[in-house]
């Protein structure tokens, strides 16, 4: 999302009087360790590293291996963090899911933790405030679909740790899925349309194993018939055919797929079909006016029955075909920005200053970026056996006119928890 925002700044000129941000930069540096600029906390975070990278040209990628404290090829399982340039901004990804073949992931976004708080951590799997956390909560990169959200786990269908047990709770939102995202019609005349609710996350032999998403759905051409299913998504992507009510393969006919609590649709970057999604309804009572979860409502034992009418009743779809959300690649390391023009826009790792006035307090001018040095997150390595806390310490511009066109050097700092025994 972030790079697309900057890529289309010239288009935004006509809408909100923004100027384009400029062209590309130079090649990246070799990203070597500076010998310990990141404060080292005792216990398992025993090493530190600094990665200085000059933002490359639009579309080019640079990858970093924090175990080796050096840049690495963006292939295989050894790299841990990938920076993809948007020319005047960048997106970050972990070595996981659609972004890489590794076992990486991130625990929260740079909006979820401060660097100051992360320096208090002594183990990447033990939250000083909340106790042990399972490694599975280091979320892999995934297809960013209508099921992506803005909460701590970036999921729209579940909330996490509402009762201090690190469990996921469904919110019974109703999502519409169309097999023809070129049409806004939801009657089924232009392709099948399904209404679907996530109803649970635990199953297996004991009924308490995580990674077993449950869901129910109706075909909008016959909404009186309610179908239900639970799938074992503990070992990777499971593809489901709503029409035939069965699991299938990636090359088969499917509309939706699950990997633990991650969801993707067969369209956009996730598949060769034309499936799109739309969030149609959030049942009453689950959220306060400010968007915070109502814990008592999530804990109610009657939720399954109470929300059935939301699924089978009349639903609203998108007003035009462009309203269907098609899959793209998403990462915890690249959250959606907050804020509005002409004020600074917060992209988590950095702020974008659209005007001289917006950037004045930070000593920056129009269209420049300023690092949010106290924003941080935790990252699992591509090999899956080590961890690091990371922050973007600074963004420096080379001298140029206009100022925003100068080559940018991004400096990341890592506190590293090596593999056990190292």
Among residues 387, 376, 410, which one has the least CA distance to residue 105? 387
* Phi, psi angle pair for 212, to nearest 5°: -115, 75
Q: Kindly report which listed range (25-39, 55-69, 140-154, 357-371) carries the lowest average pLDDT score.
A: 25-39
Secondary structure (DSSP) of 120-165: T-SBTTEETTTEE--GGGSBPPEEE-TTB-SSTT-BSSEEE-SSSS
β-pairing, 168-170 with 158-160?
antiparallel
CB of 106 within 8 A of CB of 139? Answer: yes
pLDDT at 60: 95
Question: CA-to-CA distance for 13 and 96, rounded, in angstroms?
Answer: 36
The 10s digit of each residue's pLDDT in 253-272 is 999 999 999 899 999 988 99
Q: What pLDDT is stored for residue 212 in this prediction?
A: 98
pLDDT digits (tens, 9 = 90+) for 42-62: 689 999 999 999 999 999 999
Query: With 90 as the cut, is the pLDDT of residue 38 above it?
Result: no
Q: Please state, in angstroms and rounded to a whole number, the distance separating the CA atoms of residues 322 and 278.
A: 10
Q: Which pLDDT belongs to residue 389?
A: 98
Beta bridge partners of 61: 84
Q: Cα separation of 135 and 173, whole Å?
A: 27
Nearest to 66 by CA among 116, 119, 104: 104
d(CA 337, CA 110): 11
pLDDT for the residue numbered 269: 83
**Token couple for 164:** 């201090």
Predicted confidence at residue 152, as pLDDT, reads 79
Alpha carbons 276 and 401: distance in angstroms, whole number: 43
Q: Work out the average pLDDT over 147-170.
A: 91
Measure the CA–CA gap between 211 and 155, rounded to whole angstroms: 14
Q: State pLDDT tens for residues 347-365.
A: 999 999 999 999 999 999 9
Statement: the pTM of the whole predicted model exceeds 0.75:
no
Which pLDDT score is estimated for 328?
84
DSSP line for 23-52: ------------S--SPPPSTT--EEEEEE
Determine the 3-state secondary structure of 178 from DSSP. strand
Domain boundaries, the chain: 2-134+335-417, 143-330
């Amino acid at each position: 999302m972030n790079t697309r925002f900057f890529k289309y700044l010239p288009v935004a000129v006509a809408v909100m009087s923004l100027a384009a941000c400029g062209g590309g930069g130079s090649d990246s540096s070799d990203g070597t360790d500076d010998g310990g600029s990141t404060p080292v906390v005792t216990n398992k975070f025993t090493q530190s590293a600094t990665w200085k990278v000059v933002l490359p040209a639009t579309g080019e990628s640079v990858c970093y291996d924090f175990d080796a404290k050096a840049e690495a090829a963006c292939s295989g399982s050894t790299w841990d963090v990938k920076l993809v340039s948007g020319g005047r901004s960048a997106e970050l990804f972990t070595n996981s899911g659609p972004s890489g073949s590794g076992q990486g992931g991130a625990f929260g976004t740079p909006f979820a933790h401060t660097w100051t708080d992360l320096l208090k951590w002594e183990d990447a799997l033990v939250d000083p405030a909340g106790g042990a956390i399972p490694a599975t909560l280091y979320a892999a990169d995934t297809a960013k679909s209508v099921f992506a959200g803005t909460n701590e786990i970036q999921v729209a269908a579940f909330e996490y740790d509402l009762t201090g047990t690190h469990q996921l709770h469904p919110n019974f939102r109703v999502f519409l899925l169309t097999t023809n995202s070129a049409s806004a019609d939801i009657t089924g005349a232009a392709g099948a349309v399904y209404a679907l609710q996530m109803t649970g996350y635990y199953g297996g032999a004991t009924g308490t194993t995580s990674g077993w998403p449950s869901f129910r759905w109706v075909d909008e051409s016959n909404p009186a018939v309610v179908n239900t299913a639970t799938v074992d998504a503990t070992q990777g992507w499971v593809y489901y055919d709503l029409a035939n009510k069965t699991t299938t393969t990636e090359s088969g006919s499917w509309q939706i797929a699950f990997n633990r609590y991650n969801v993707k649709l067969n369209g956009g970057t996730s598949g060769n079909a034309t499936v799109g999604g739309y969030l149609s309804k959030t049942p009453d009572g689950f959220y306060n006016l400010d968007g915070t979860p109502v814990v008592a409502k999530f804990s109610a034992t009657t939720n399954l029955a109470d929300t059935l009418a939301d699924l089978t009743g009349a639903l609203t779809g998108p007003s035009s075909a462009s309203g269907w959300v098609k899959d793209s690649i998403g990462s915890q390391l690249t959250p959606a920005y907050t804020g509005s023009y002409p004020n600074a826009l917060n992209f988590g790792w950095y702020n974008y200053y659209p005007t001289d006035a917006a950037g004045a307090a930070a000593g920056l001018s129009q269209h420049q970026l300023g690092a949010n040095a106290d924003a941080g997150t935790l990252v699992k390595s591509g090999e899956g056996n080590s961890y690091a806390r990371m922050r973007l310490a600074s963004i420096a511009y080379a001298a140029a006119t206009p100022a925003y066109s100068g080559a940018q050097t991004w400096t990341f700092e890592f506190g590293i928890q090596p593999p056990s025994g190292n």
